Every structure is written in C-alpha cells, then in structure tokens.
Chains A and B, each alone.
Chain A
C-alpha cells in the first residue's frame, strides 16, 4: 500500500510524537508513506476566518503537488485532514470556485483536477484498510489490562469527515479492543477540546478541557488516546493550568493513538515519541503490561 503523506506543521514540532509513531507503525504494517514534496501549511481555521479563496487555494497547492501516480493522501492531523477534504469537495461541487482556485494555482504553475486524489484519514486506513486480521497478526504485545479512553475530538468525525458516526464514533474503540485493551466507555469522545480558544479565551477553553479530563477520571481510564495535535496540546500541555484554575489534581496521560498501537506492534517506546507528553504515560503502560505478564506466568 502506498499513500501520499501530508504530515502538517504540528507534526514537525509540538506533535512530533504523532509523526514518529505514524511512520514507525506504517513501516511495520508495510504501508509506504511518501511525503508530499515541499508541502505548505493548511492554514488550520485561520485563513477561513479571513478569506475563503486564499484559504482554499493555499490548501489546494498541497493537493496539486501530489505525484500523479498516487491516488490517496493521508493526513493524521484533524485540521489538515478536514481542510484537504473540504477543499477537494468544494472544488467538485462548485465549478465557479474550482475555476477560481485553479486560476490562483496557475499563478504558481500548478493545477489540480478536483476529485483526483482521495483524502483518507489515518484511522480509516488503519481500522478499515489494514483491518482487524492484519493488526491481530502483527500484534506482539497485547494491551490486556490497560484501560484506555478513545478521544476522537470534533473535526474528523463530523459530516465533512464522513469517517464514522459523527456523535458516537467507534472505530478507535474497535481497533484497541482487537489489540486486547480494556476500552472504557467515554461519553465525551467526540466533544470539542476548545481548539484555539486556549489562546483567545482561557476561561471558555479550560471548562471544556476540564469536562474531558473529568470524564476520563470518572471512567477510570489509565490514559487517553488522541488523534489530533490540537486536542493533545490542549489536554496535555494545559492540564497543569486547568488544575490550577479549578483547584484540581488531574494526572491523565494524553498520547496519540498511533503511539499505543506501536506498543502493541512491539515497537520500542522511544521510537514512538514517548516522553514528549507532559503527563508521563510510560509508567502506567509499563506497570499494566508487567501485571499482565506476572498473571500469565503465575
């Protein structure tokens, strides 16, 4: 399997653990990821706030740069995924916008035929295209005894994403059940993390983050699995500030789902970017897996 790969800016810095684990997991599963040469930022939500044509043209440059022999592009970040998908859909549905975007691309000597590339989310690739049989076959370390809360966030599962049920998605739940984990019922699994509100209006954002952390504690999760850099940043890096703000003592490790998948596939934890999260995840994973090993030997 060969896919164009659009890592996005967060995966180069703040969410390097996502990029490391995606590449490591892909290698073990024989998925070839070819990074789009000279890709640019998707603009997140910030261009759409200012100018729709600039927003979509900036995104379309990345679609236009995908090599002609590749038909699928994978974007692990929620905002990147949504922006690529939304722009491609808009170009297919709206001939006038399609013409304008291609005229803008033309100024850079580029062109994109709407619908040429399928925008695919990583979860879809792993859950549906790789699938249960292969994941089970490649698993070397079952996650038995580890209580995980799957957190999907908002943009990937909503109607534009079309990936799963928009309010109560299950694909990540299913995947980690195949891998032996104890997947907890996490009722807020598709609620919003506050997005960029942590930068604009802290009070509003902190309350959303508090609800997500509280629900993880209520469901006795050992850790929370994310699939979006913004979600991971808000829940992990802001956790200390949320604790101060509400006088709480949350200590919920927040990692990317591909990191834990990598553990199940037997990949070394350092290669998966563990240690970059602020609330450490390694101790609880090690201790749960050790408990299981002890039980198995008893």
Chain B
C-alpha cells in the first residue's frame, strides 16, 4: 500500500487543512480521479476543480487556493462527498477553505461572505433568521440594482402571505448570545 506519504512529506497547508476539517485526515488518500469536479453542479464555474485544489494543497499553494473562487461555487449539496471513492469529506473541506479565506481577508471576488454575515448578524440579534430583513439588507448594500429585478417576485410572495415584514424573536436571546460569545472565545483561544 503506497497510498499515504509520511508526515514529513506533507505540505504545511495540507496539514493545516487536515487538522481543521472534521474527517480531514482522509485527504491524504486523494487519487486525483476527478469524480468530485465531474459531479459538481457548479464545477464549470470553478477556477480550479476540487481535484485540482487538492493537488494545489499538496503543493502548498496556499495563497492561490484561498484566493480562488472554487469554494465559493460550492452550495453544500454533498454530491462530491457521496461519490468520492476515498471518502474525503470534500464539502467540509470547502467550508474550511471558506472560513480561512474570510478570516484572512482573501474572499474578495464573491458576495457569499456578505450574505453569510448579514444572515448571522440577524440571527444573533433575533435568534431566528429574518428573510425580508436579510434580502433587503443584503441586496441594498451589495446588489442595489437587483432590487428592481427582485421587486415583482417580492410582490408575488407578499400577496401570498409569504413575506413577514417584522422579525420573529426568541425569548431567551440573551442565552443564545452568551452561547455564541463563549463559542467565539473558545474558538479564538484554540
């Protein structure tokens, strides 16, 4: 069995990805078969397919990986994970790359971090997500021109009672915030 390189031969970035992804140790078994990119519904829009990304991780090309659009094309449908013959948790690796890219300010070519932040800010404030607040804030600050295109659809949704204009708030929002703050504190310390 020559499927695994020794610890010393792994690039620093590969060790980082493996350590920070649940199940990430499977990454060493990548065969470069390309089932992942071939299965991905958004594979055609990626600068590098997951297969290429894993090769670049092995080659320690950290900056290129984190600046790429690959993980931002991932919508977490898990088809690559289902099909990977080596059981690599590809979707989880994409999440890890998204987190690292945001943390290091390298996610510049996509609106995905803005959507994620707007979403979670509302959850931290109310305890529940708030579709109307999310859509109006996100589009206003990131894609103002899209508001015109969205208008007709929003109206159809509204007349069918599918848009709430005010957020639902949980009772113990303080408790949720305490949990979130503690999680951030522990995460920052590790």
Contacts and interface: CB of A to CB of B under 8 A. Distances in A.
The 4 closest A-B pairs by CB, nearest first: A107-B182, A154-B77, A195-B75, A158-B78
A26 interface: no
B82 A12 contact: no
A15 B187 CA distance: 34
A61 interface: yes
A159 B92 CA distance: 13
B112 interface: yes
Interface stretch (B6-14, B48-56, B171-179): B171-179
A297 interface: no
A93 B77 CA distance: 22
Contacts, number: 196
A38 B170 contact: yes
A50 interface: yes
B162 A16 contact: yes
Residue picked from B78, B95, B110, B184, most chain A C-beta under 10 Å: B78
Looking at chain B, what size class is its interface with the partner chain? 35 or more
Given A57-B183, A199-B138, A41 B178 contact: no
A204 B138 CA distance: 19
Contacts of A50: 98-99, 102, 113, 116-117, 120
Nearest to A15: B162
Contacts of A159: 78, 81-82
A53 B76 CA distance: 18
A41 B157 CA distance: 22
A272 to B, nearest CB: 14
A142 interface: no
Residue picked from A9, A16, A53, A154, most chain B C-beta under 10 Å: A9
Contact of A57 (B96, B149, B168, B180): B180
A201 B128 contact: no
Contacts of B186: 53, 100, 103-104
B45 interface: yes
Contacts of A238: 153
B102 A49 contact: yes
Nearest to B71: A49
Given A107-B178, A241-B153, A14 B119 contact: no
B179 A105 contact: yes
B128 A104 contact: no
Residue picked from B152, B162, B163, most chain A C-beta under 10 Å: B162
A108 interface: yes
B38 interface: no
Interface of A: 9-10, 12-16, 38-41, 43-54, 57-58, 61, 90, 93-94, 97, 100-101, 103-110, 154-155, 158-160, 166-167, 191-192, 194-197, 199-201, 204, 208, 237-238, 240-241, 275-278
B157 A107 contact: no
B83 to A, nearest CB: 8
A238 B152 CA distance: 10
Interface of B: 22, 41-42, 45, 72-73, 75-79, 81-82, 95-96, 98-99, 102, 110-113, 115-117, 119-120, 123, 127-132, 135, 138, 149, 152-153, 156-157, 160-164, 168, 170-172, 175-176, 178-184, 186-187, 190
B149 to A, nearest CB: 7
B176 A40 contact: yes
Please classify the interface of chain A as helix (H, G, I), strand (E, B), loop, or mixed, using the class held by over half of its residues.
loop
B75 A197 contact: yes
Nearest to B174: A108
11 contacts: A12-B128, A16-B161, A38-B127, A48-B76, A53-B183, A58-B180, A108-B182, A158-B82, A167-B79, A204-B45, A237-B153
B41 A108 contact: no
Given A41-B123, A50-B102, A275 B160 contact: yes
Contact of B76 (A12, A54, A155): A155
Contacts of B115: 46, 196, 199-200
Contacts of A47: 116, 120, 123
Nearest to A90: B22
Given A200-B115, A237-B157, A154 B131 contact: no
Residue picked from A40, A45, A100, A105, most chain B C-beta under 10 Å: A40
B81 A9 contact: no
A61 B95 contact: no
A155 B77 contact: yes
A41 B182 contact: no
